[in-house]
Amino acid sequence: MALRFAELTVDDPREDEVLVRIAATGCARDAHTRAGRIRSPLPAVLGHEGAGVVAAVVSAVSHLSAFRRGVVQVDDTFDM
């Protein structure tokens, strides 16, 4: 599978979301997808497991704060 890097526009977080600036990402599934062993609908954004810093928090989220470090695992079953 040929991969390419692309700039994506990210919306502001919705009322139940935070924005995380990802510093590192990847998982075994990504490697298998790139090698063609797992089929993925395209286009796809790989790297659904990552580590980074909270960049923006909405008022409804009270258990996180900006600049806090953490890890994320995104539910990648959404429509793109």
pLDDT of residue 36: 82
Q: pLDDT value at position 47?
A: 76
Q: What is the mean pLDDT of the chain?
A: 82
Compute CA distances 59 → 14, 18, 68, 73, whole Å. Answer: 10, 10, 16, 22
Residues of the chain with pLDDT under 50: 78-80
The amino acid that residue 58 corresponds to is V
Q: Domain residues of the chain, as ranges? A: 18-73
Query: What is the residue type of 44?
Result: A
Type of residue at 52: G
DSSP class of residue 11 equals P
